[in-house]
A and B are shown apart, each in its own frame.
Chain A
Amino acid sequence: MAPSRSSRTSLQSVDLRALDYLASPSANLLCPICHSPLITPVQTRCLHTFCSACISLSLERSLTCPVDRKDLSHDDVTPAPIMITNLVNDLVVLCPNRERGCGASCARWLVESHVREDCGYALVKCAKDGCDGMVERKDVEEECVHEEVGCQFCELSVRRLDLDSHHRECPKLSSECPHCAESFLNPDLSIHIADCPAEIIDCPASHFGCPYTSPRSDIDAHTSNCHFVALTPILQLHTERITTLELENRTIRQKLELLTPPRPLPTPSSSTTISSSSNPPANDGSSTNRDMTSEMQDYTYHLYSEYEQLRADVERLNAQIRELDVKQDMARINEGLRYNDEMTGMRAAMNGLRMQLHWLVASRRETGAGSGGAGGGASRSVAGGSAGDGRRMSDSVRQVMKL
């Protein structure tokens, strides 16, 4: 290490929280708030460990422990055991100037001194007296890059730092054309490149399929007898027509979508029957047809689902009719049974009446036979009358039964 190097200290500050670690540290060493390895670890009364800065910020907003929500005040926070502090300080970190090229890694507690004293890529003050610029430590011995120097070609003064980029566009310098290898002054180069005869270009009809390429100088010979160029006006016309037709087609399709009624979601049962009964989706269709096919398929699905719904409706109605038939039959049978019962009851009552009548007639006859001739004729006529009444009565009963 050159002594002059270490004599220049870097003012570059190191943000410990932004450091990258060589190996991913144990999850036990991470602060629950910033999720980085603990920096100046402290411990709460409830034995949780945080970075000192993190817990202070948290306590400003809420006087509870972020982990278990127990009450906590600033006085309940004490430095964590030395062992934890040592564990996190010994973690190996990569130098923060890694992006500028420093490949060093060291324990975290040494990184600040590495950047301040050693790191060749840390920014230090420029060695030249009176210059306020910053320079990487490894370059500090070289001449000051911040002083203005005149461009040796164009008298413009630029910082030494920017000289390279200036040379690429200095108007007095010439650069080589990438196509024809000729040299041109920087301001003229772009004009030249736009029509360099050596540049390889495509045929003007390349977008219609002509594969011809040649240097710009030879392209005229080709275009004069290129079939694609000859057809260009017609092809152009066709392309325009196709575009307008596509546009028209799209608007028409949108209108159609607006006009067709919204399709109901097929019920799960009907959708399964559809997938089994309908044709399998056309996977072999070309990509241009796929939209169309899927649209048709959607429509077919829709029709199928409607058909399935109708069939289900008819089946339901059939079942209802069958049920009603059975109910009616039952009702009729019940009614018939009831009438039968009533009829037998009536018949029994009638038989009883007939028996009574017979008995009455028989007893009247016996009394008439006992009293003699004249009385017998009169009684017979009475008995005959009452017997006729009895028959009539039974007839009327029978009539009621018939009704």
Chain B
Amino acid sequence: MALPKRIIKETERLVAEPVPGIEAVPHEDNLRYFDVSIHGPAQSPYEGGVFKLELFLPEDYPMTPPKIRFLTKIYHPNIDRLGRICLDVLKANWSPALQIRTILLSIQALLGAPNPDDPLANDVAQRWKEDEPGAIATAREWTQKHAAP
């Protein structure tokens, strides 16, 4: 099936005017599949790390949200061991007026503001609530170990 004009336009814009700290490059053989890398936001435990993600635009995008998963290991209360992300706009709060660019920005913001009250990785969230400095130290350690650019 031909690629919808919207996807072509979004891809062109992502390449022409990239969001600072975010790169999204489509696969040559499948233009619905993107290799994404997000730089950890400054003043967060993920600062200095570059996190790889995969993004797939399903057949009925933009009526359904893109499928996004972290490929780099990350210690975060809203991201589980398999890299799945707990973010409302990726699920119930998706709107077809959102786009790849806005979603990736939301994920970058989630790195800057972890939300342990809506956890996906229960053990991490628990630790985040009980021993925040310790959890942040672990997140920093994981960033150094797994997300070094």
Task: Answer yes or no: are A and B bound together in one complex.
Answer: yes
Contact with A along B50-67 (1 / 0, CB 8 A): 000000000000111000
B93 at the interface (CB under 8 A from A): yes
Q: Do B10 and A35 touch (CB < 8 A)?
A: yes
Binds B, one of A54-62, A94-102, A216-224, A228-236: A54-62
Q: Which residues of B contact A32 (CB under 8 A)?
A: 96-97
B4 at the interface (CB under 8 A from A): yes
Assembly CA distance A58 to B2 (angstroms): 21
Q: Do A33 and B9 touch (CB < 8 A)?
A: no
Residue in B5, B93, B96 whose CB lies within 8 Å of A18: B5
Q: Do A35 and B5 touch (CB < 8 A)?
A: yes
Contact residues of A between 64 and 93, Cβ < 8 Å to B: 64, 66-67, 69
> Which bucket holds chain A's interface residue count?
10 to 19
* Total residues of chain B contacting the partner, CB 8 A: 14
Contact with A along B1-29 (1 / 0, CB 8 A): 01011100110000000000000000000
B95 at the interface (CB under 8 A from A): yes
Distance in angstroms from A368 CB to nearest chain B CB is 89
Q: Do B62 and A33 touch (CB < 8 A)?
A: yes
Q: Do A66 and B5 touch (CB < 8 A)?
A: no
A394 at the interface (CB under 8 A from B): no
Assembly CA distance A17 to B2 (angstroms): 12
Residue in A34, A64, A67, A69 whose CB lies within 8 Å of B6: A34
Q: Do B6 and A66 touch (CB < 8 A)?
A: no
Task: Across the interface, name the chain A residue whose C-beta is closest to B64.
Answer: A61
Q: Which residues of B contact A270 (CB under 8 A)?
A: none
Assembly CA distance A17 to B5 (angstroms): 7
Distance in angstroms from B142 CB to nearest chain A CB is 15
Residue in B2, B10, B64, B96 whose CB lies within 8 Å of A33: B96
Residue in B2, B9, B63, B64 whose CB lies within 8 Å of A35: B9
Q: Do A36 and B93 touch (CB < 8 A)?
A: no
Q: A57-B63, A58-B63, A61-B63 are in contact. Are A36 and B6 (CB under 8 A)?
A: yes
Q: A57-B63, A58-B63, A61-B63 are in contact. Are A66 and B96 (CB under 8 A)?
A: yes
Q: Which residues of B contact A17 (CB under 8 A)?
A: 4-5
Task: Across the interface, name the chain A residue whose C-beta is closest to B94.
Answer: A62
Q: Do B6 and A35 touch (CB < 8 A)?
A: yes
Assembly CA distance A62 to B62 (angstroms): 13
Distance in angstroms from B57 CB to nearest chain A CB is 13
Q: 14 other contacts beyond A32-B97, A34-B62, A58-B96, with CB at 8 A cut-off?
A: A33-B96, A34-B6, A35-B6, A35-B9, A35-B10, A36-B5, A36-B9, A54-B96, A60-B63, A61-B64, A66-B97, A67-B97, A69-B93, A69-B95
Q: Which residues of A are interface residues toward B (Cβ below 8 A)?
A: 17-18, 32-36, 54, 57-58, 60-62, 64, 66-67, 69
User: What are 11 residue pairs bridging A and B, where the CB atoms are less than 8 Å apart in the complex?
Assistant: A17-B4, A17-B5, A32-B96, A33-B62, A33-B97, A35-B6, A35-B10, A36-B5, A36-B6, A61-B64, A69-B95
